[in-house]
Amino acid sequence: MAILWNSLILLFIVLASLFLIRVLLFKTGLIYITNKWWRRFEDCFHVCQFFKVPEFSDGMQHNQLYRKVSVYLNSLASMEDSDFTNLFTGKKSNEIVLGLDPNQVIEDDFLGAKVCWINERKLNRNTFVLKVRKADKRRILRPYLQHIHSVSDELDQIRKDLRLHINVRDDDGDGDDDDNLRNGRWRSVPFTHPSTFETIAMETDLKNRVKSDLESFIKAKQYYHRLGRVWKRSFLLYGPSGTGKSSFVAAMANFLCYDVYDVDLSRVSSDSDLKMLLLQTTSKSVIVIEDLDRFLIGKSSTTALSLSGVLNFMDGILNTCCFEERVMVFTMKSKDQIDPAILRPGRIDVHIHFPLCDFSAFKTLASSCLGLKDHKLFPQVEEIFQNGASLSPAEMSELMIANRNSPSRALKTVITALQTDGDGRGSAAGRRLGDGGSRKSTDEPSEHSGVLFSRDNTVKEFRKLYGLLRLKSHRNSPSFDSATTEHKDKYPPSDLASLQIDG
């Protein structure tokens, strides 16, 4: 009995001691020193091999691999765990990046093998030295270097400043010879559109499907290659004005960290001109043609650009660098009058409908614009929606933003607008095709949500951009009410999630 008792006490003492050692090691950080010593001890039994990555070649040219290794190492979690690390501000003012100190050593794990990097600095020359165990070298060296390549490329892509490229006419000589801004027929400006998938009122499931579609597309290089297909994905965004199509394009570009090439067909003189524009786009870009229906339906004498020129462009077959990914996006008010051949799978892979607001979109906007999750007026709004009234998200969000200091007033304004302007709006959307005469002349001052806009061009552009012209004009437009039922049947609010992925 005494022996059993003594053994139990001994076991308890051993367990308590182990527990205390563990607490001591982790709480004081001694675990790191222990690991370091253990690793040195292990290294005594291994032959290691060293690979140098110098910053400059013998001809004093920059070694690209050095930069990639630097980007890769600075992103490692073990950088944060190292004894000391340099901190720098990044490109953005609130960004802080980590940087290795001279002669600092950093560890990394790859495929179960441990490797070390030493940031060697001798005679003012920087070199990264990779230390790999000989036993692991054959197995991991090549895949590890490839891994560094792809991770640093990804990081570069994420961190790069996006640009918006706009095509100009051949004869648009603006005397601007800055190569950063000019690329053949394209001119570019920084792309800083704040829209993201999170800021767009749309069914969450639909957003997630688009996101995963884009994600699987950008990872599918080998797949497209094997199929002998151009590595591109084409989206058609269609729906009435002010429903978020352009914002969605910006959200896609921000999500992918891709530049945007906005093709203005009215500035394209011929098929070969369009061909040239496509050839001058870079990989990892979103190529957009807005209001394609306007071109296809109204195509006449204004340009020598032919339908087959546009179809070839959509097919991307003219693209010499077709193994580089491109996302193409076309927007339309409606695809009713469009030849199905233009929309066939392969030419357009994903169709996304952008409807007018339904109650669910209203609630998303109320939450983002007014911070309202629920309100006593919500049932009333819901009832109005059930009676078929609707407004575009642009109109709805503008009313909310203008009254954001008083959520109740904002909701009352929305209710009034729905009752007076939104009756049957869901069905009337088709009338806006081609932006016919329903808009009020912009030569008079227009009032919207209590805000008085002046006449100058900047404001006109702003209002055009934000779809603000319609609210007032529809109030005054008798022609707007006609031919409504047909469209209502075609685009019921529940059609929000009509994502169709072909091919």
Ligand X SMILES: Nc1ncnc2c1ncn2[C@@H]1O[C@H](COP(=O)(O)OP(=O)(O)OP(=O)(O)O)[C@@H](O)[C@H]1O
Binding site for ligand X (CB under 6 A): 200-202, 241-247, 354, 393-394, 397, 466-467
Q: Which does 119 bind (CB under 5 to 8 A by kind): ligand X, Mg ion, none?
A: none
The sign of the dihedral angle between the CA atoms of 275, 280, 286, 292 is negative
Q: What are phi and psi of 157, to 5 degrees?
A: -60, -45
CA nearest 434: which of 327, 334, 331, 306?
334
Structure-token pair, residue 15: 């367990």
Q: 480: helix, coil or strand? A: helix
Q: Which does 422 bind (CB under 5 to 8 A by kind): ligand X, Mg ion, none?
A: none
CB of 246 to Mg ion, least distance (A): 3
Residue among 250 and 411 whose Cβ is closer to ligand X: 250
CB of 436 to Mg ion, least distance (A): 17
Q: Which does 466 bind (CB under 5 to 8 A by kind): Mg ion, ligand X, none?
A: ligand X
CA nearest 117: which of 133, 128, 102?
128
The label of the residue with tokens 């496509």 reads 278
CB of 298 to ligand X, least distance (A): 15
CB of 466 to ligand X, least distance (A): 5
Q: Which does 252 bind (CB under 5 to 8 A by kind): ligand X, Mg ion, none?
A: none
Q: Which does 202 bind (CB under 5 to 8 A by kind): Mg ion, ligand X, none?
A: ligand X
Residue among 137 and 294 whose Cβ is closer to ligand X: 294
Rounded to whole angstroms, the maximal C-alpha distance in the chain is 108
Q: How many chain residues touch Mg ion (CB under 5 A)?
A: 2
Please check whether residue 375 is in contact with residue 408, taking contact to mean a CB–CB distance below 8 angstroms. yes
Of 124-132, 242-250, 293-301, 415-423, the segment contacting Mg ion by CB under 5 A is 242-250
Q: Which residue is nearest to ligand X (CB)?
A: 244
Residues in the chain: 503
Q: Which does 74 bind (CB under 5 to 8 A by kind): ligand X, Mg ion, none?
A: none
Q: Which does 400 bind (CB under 5 to 8 A by kind): Mg ion, ligand X, none?
A: none
Residue among 352 and 415 whose Cβ is closer to Mg ion: 352
Residues 80-91 as b/e (b if ≥16 CB within 10 A, e otherwise) read eebeeeeeeeee
Distance of alpha carbon 231 from the chain centroid: 18
Residue among 130 and 411 whose Cβ is closer to ligand X: 411
Of 67-75, 127-135, 243-251, 278-286, the segment contacting Mg ion by CB under 5 A is 243-251
Residue among 393 and 493 whose Cβ is closer to ligand X: 393
CA nearest 483: which of 415, 432, 413, 407?
432
CB of 262 to ligand X, least distance (A): 12
Please check whether residue 136 is in contact with residue 232, taking contact to mean a CB–CB distance below 8 angstroms. no
Please check whether residue 287 is in contact with residue 330, taking contact to mean a CB–CB distance below 8 angstroms. no
The label of the residue with tokens 């001279």 reads 102
Structure-token pair, residue 406: 């008083």
Q: What are the Cα distances from residue 405, in Å, to 62, 138, 363?
A: 56, 66, 17
Site string for Mg ion, 383-402 (x = CB under 5 A): --------------------
Please check whether residue 232 is in contact with residue 326, taking contact to mean a CB–CB distance below 8 angstroms. yes
Of 105-113, 224-232, 237-245, 393-401, the segment contacting Mg ion by CB under 5 A is 237-245
CB of 247 to Mg ion, least distance (A): 8
CB of 392 to Mg ion, least distance (A): 11
Rounded to 5°, angle at Cα 338 from 332 and 339: 145
CB of 59 to Mg ion, least distance (A): 51
CB of 245 to Mg ion, least distance (A): 5
Q: Does 246 bind Mg ion (CB under 5 A)?
A: yes
Quote the CA–CA distance of 31 and 37 in Å, as a whole number.
10
Applying CB under 5 A, which residues contact Mg ion?
Answer: 245-246
